[in-house]
Structure 1
Amino acid sequence: MARKHTLAFLKTEAGSGAVLGFAALAALIVANSPWSADYFAWLKSVHAVQIGPLRLEETISDWIKEGLMAVFFLIVGLEIKYEVLKGELSNPKKLALPILAALGGMAVPGLVYLAVAGTLGGPTQGWPIPLATDIAFALAVFAMVGRSLPASLRVFLLTLAIVDDLGAIALIAILFSQGVQWVPLLAALGVIAVFAVLGRRRMAAAFWVLGFAAVWYLTVLSGLSTSLTAVAFALIVPVDPRRETSQSPLKDAMHDLHPYVAYLVLPLFAFAKAGVSFAGLSLEQAFAPLVVAIALGLFIGKQIGVFGVAWLAVKLGLGDKPSGAGWMQLYGVSLLCGIGFTMSLFIGVLAFPGAVDSVEQIEVKLGVIGGSLLSGLAAAVILSLADAAQKKRRHLKSVASAE
């Protein structure tokens, strides 16, 4: 049952990669077209939502970042809980290698960034940007070039990316949630506690929606990143079916929300954050210290951190390679982890707050896009070679069996 759920998740995430790519490409085209001014003006435009006495005013960019992306983090939290309790992460042996590899994939990129930024005189606060892995884009590339590769590699990549996302969420909470207003935050925690108790009983989906909306609103008022409370709310959603029904509230929520997140929320975020105007862009800015530090952190740091720690863990007996996978295949997956697009852009917005067309935001986008493209292209080449080698071995084996 867990395997069926995982493969369904992979299929949806891989399929959404094409939509993500189109949205990112569309953002780049629009940002460099006659509609460029309208695009950036739209992102900066302020819009209010009012329900009775409750009113919030945010820019389109902030509505996407703090509003729609909260739903993304809710899905991440649901995935983490399900995998830990019912899925691949419930097996300690399967859990060890991707967790260790994910830790390496978070530590080394940060060190590479700091080393490059220190050498070139770049800002140090951007070190968390290359730590993240974009699940959808990574799985999309894998699906395109690795059809004959072991399914265990897909599970390894998904597990690693989930742990990676958890680490990124923790960093967001620790580093980018200053100036917290405690009264609304305590109220949000109170709502979570109440729903944790009520969740033991059968509750209609509408009540969960209202509970999440209340927690989100209070979190915005508190000044805390909505990502943290979204994950916290996900962790109280029951994973086991209620006695009165065979349906699991957690699986129902994932099933209902996942397509919207994969095909609407993430592409819209990509469209809002990937747009960078190349008008007046000099060669000096294209290779600015911030750009180079992020790109090398993703491309060099990720592959060294993930593959290096995975290799060391296997040699020390701390974990096992994915079943049926070779080192070349594992290296290709390690390269895929350098695709940090969505989450890296999100952290970049938090690390360098300001206008979407500010110098820092442009350089963040250039670095993330450059590092992700390098990682994706290199991974596609390596995995294609590994896929071809796997097919050749299977062909030779079938010929030998026939003889």
Structure 2
Amino acid sequence: MTLLRSERFPAVLLLAAAALGLLIANLPVGPAVLHASEVHLTLPWADLSLSHWVSDGLLAIFFFGVAVELQYELTSGELSSVRKAIQPAIAAAGGVLVPILIYLLIAGADPATRDGWPIATATDIAFALGVLAVFGRGLPSPVRVFLLALAIIDDLVGIVLIAVLFATDLDLGLLAIAVVLVVVFGALSRVEPEHRGARIAVIALMIVLAVAAWLLVLQSGVHATIAGVLLGFAVRQGAGLRTRHVLEPWINGAILPLFAFVAALVVIPQVSPSELSPALWAVWIALPVGKLIGIVVFGWLALRIRPRGVPRAEHTPILNLPDLIAAGALGGVGFTVSLLLAKLAFAEDPAIRDQSILGVLGGSLTALVVCAVVVSLRARHYRLIAASS
């Protein structure tokens, strides 16, 4: 379990699962595996394919953990004040806007691919911190703090995009009932019975409410992972953090690798590069290039902005330009949320969906290589400074 709570191993496991999915999809056994992933498993009030049980069901647990972390950071952590949040927020805005611009410049002219602009807006915190753990020995803590805040804001942007852009046939009645159940769930999380039996009963009732809320959100037309987000924001912080700690090995060791495997079950098109969809190239370029440019340029400007009322000495920039470049390179690893956004953006066009997924994998791998080199160089720089002092 300790290994699955580390920063290095889950990132390696996630990459290996995606590579395995892509490999199997392009072997002779690939069509049978792809067919199996689309077999429907029908339960009361839910009829989903196996791949959708992963992306709509299990991934809701991942988003619950993300929301719990967001709640903590917004109230007690790195985003709990304007002074702390303003700089990574502006850098994150650049890391969202510039990739969107690059995507639209490459693929926006074609109505068939235009809707893929949200795909390159995400940063995968697990991968980014994994790269820091492997290559960043010696980096100062401000780089990690800045990256963490940046990725958390990116997660929030991704959540909003999923909720707003990919709702279909919205049923406000079911959604309202789901919200009521989430409120009751949050209220129960603040109840602390003295007796063990009562505590178990409360936990069991909370689980029932969580599953019911998920089913209602699923049926309401909003993407079902948003149920996990709502529950994560509603739960009492202490209870949420304890639950996230319990779930973390399962999220890192099973849920995310399984999602990466299923999402990467994509057949590589046997065509010339000129025949590939613009969506593939747009995502591939927007992730490593757009994220790097957006985060560095906006972050450089943000680090020189002094919020009103904050003493200048307190606002001394925490990152110089080379460190900011390292953080920007790390931000280009989109992966988990980008894969989900690709599946949602082109749900009605499997061919473009698969090519955009290849763009996510290629762009994230490119960003991984770039950030590994940049981070290694910056870490070596700081280790030399430490050795000479």
TM-score by length of 2: 0.90
Correspondence for 1:245: none
Alignment match of 1:209 (pick from 201, 207, 211) = 207
Correspondence for 1:365: 357
Asked if the contact 2:94/2:298 (under 8 Å) is kept, the reply is: yes
Cα distance change on mapping 1:328 and 1:207 into 2, 3 Å: same
What SS does the aligned partner of 2:47 have? strand
Asked if the contact 2:345/2:353 (under 8 Å) is kept, the reply is: no
Asked if the contact 1:173/1:225 (under 8 Å) is kept, the reply is: yes
Asked if the contact 1:97/1:321 (under 8 Å) is kept, the reply is: no
CA distance in 1, matches of 2:112, 2:369: 26
Correspondence for 2:280: 291
Correspondence for 1:41: 35
Alignment match of 2:306 (pick from 317, 320, 326) = 317
Correspondence 1:254 to 2:248? no
Task: Give 2:9's aligned amino acid.
Answer: G
CA distance in 2, matches of 1:124, 1:13: 35
Correspondence for 2:23: 29
Matches within 5 A, 1:356-395: 358-395=350-387
What SS does the aligned partner of 2:46 have? strand
* 1:355-397 deviation line (CA, Å, top 9, x unaligned): 7xx3112211121112111111111111111111111222222
CA distance in 2, matches of 1:322, 1:379: 22
Correspondence 1:65 to 2:55? yes
Correspondence for 1:400: none
Where does structure 1 lack aligned partners over 5 or more consecutive residues?
A: 1-7, 240-247, 398-403
CA distance in 1, matches of 2:268, 2:94: 34
CA distance in 1, matches of 2:274, 2:354: 13
**Aligned length, in residue pairs:** 374
Correspondence 1:181 to 2:171? yes
What SS does the aligned partner of 1:47 have? strand
* 1:36-68 deviation line (CA, Å, top 9, x unaligned): 11111111111123xxxx342210111111101
Asked if the contact 2:45/2:215 (under 8 Å) is kept, the reply is: no
Correspondence for 1:165: 155
Correspondence for 1:4: none
Correspondence for 1:270: 260
Correspondence for 1:333: 327
Q: Shift of the alpha carbon at 1:195?
A: 2.6
Q: Shift of the alpha carbon at 1:306?
A: 0.9
CA distance in 1, matches of 2:53, 2:317: 40
CA distance in 2, matches of 1:23, 1:129: 20
Task: Give 1:306's aligned amino acid.
Answer: I
What SS does the aligned partner of 2:9 have? helix
Correspondence for 1:221: 219
TM-score by length of 1: 0.87
Asked if the contact 1:339/1:373 (under 8 Å) is kept, the reply is: yes
CA distance in 2, matches of 1:249, 1:332: 35
Correspondence for 2:67: 77
Correspondence for 1:242: none
* 1:280-303 deviation line (CA, Å, top 9, x unaligned): 2432344x3111111121122111
Asked if the contact 1:285/1:363 (under 8 Å) is kept, the reply is: no
What SS does the aligned partner of 2:169 have? coil
Correspondence for 2:121: 131
Asked if the contact 2:303/2:317 (under 8 Å) is kept, the reply is: no
Correspondence for 1:233: 231
Q: Shift of the alpha carbon at 1:104?
A: 1.3
Asked if the contact 2:4/2:253 (under 8 Å) is kept, the reply is: no
Task: Give 2:297's aligned amino acid.
Answer: G
Asked if the contact 2:57/2:225 (under 8 Å) is kept, the reply is: no
- CA RMSD in angstroms comes to 2.2
Asked if the contact 1:133/1:338 (under 8 Å) is kept, the reply is: yes
Where does structure 2 lack aligned partners over 5 or more consecutive residues?
A: 193-198, 308-313
Runs of 4+ residues deviating >4 angstroms = 8-11, 119-122, 318-323
CA distance in 2, matches of 1:77, 1:359: 32
Q: Percent identity?
A: 35
What SS does the aligned partner of 2:138 have? coil
* 1:176-219 deviation line (CA, Å, top 9, x unaligned): 00211233222111212223333332253322222211100111
CA distance in 2, matches of 1:69, 1:121: 29
Asked if the contact 2:10/2:253 (under 8 Å) is kept, the reply is: yes
Cα distance change on mapping 1:387 and 1:299 into 2, 3 Å: same
Correspondence 1:308 to 2:312? no
Asked if the contact 2:14/2:260 (under 8 Å) is kept, the reply is: yes
CA distance in 2, matches of 1:119, 1:160: 30
What SS does the aligned partner of 1:188 have? helix
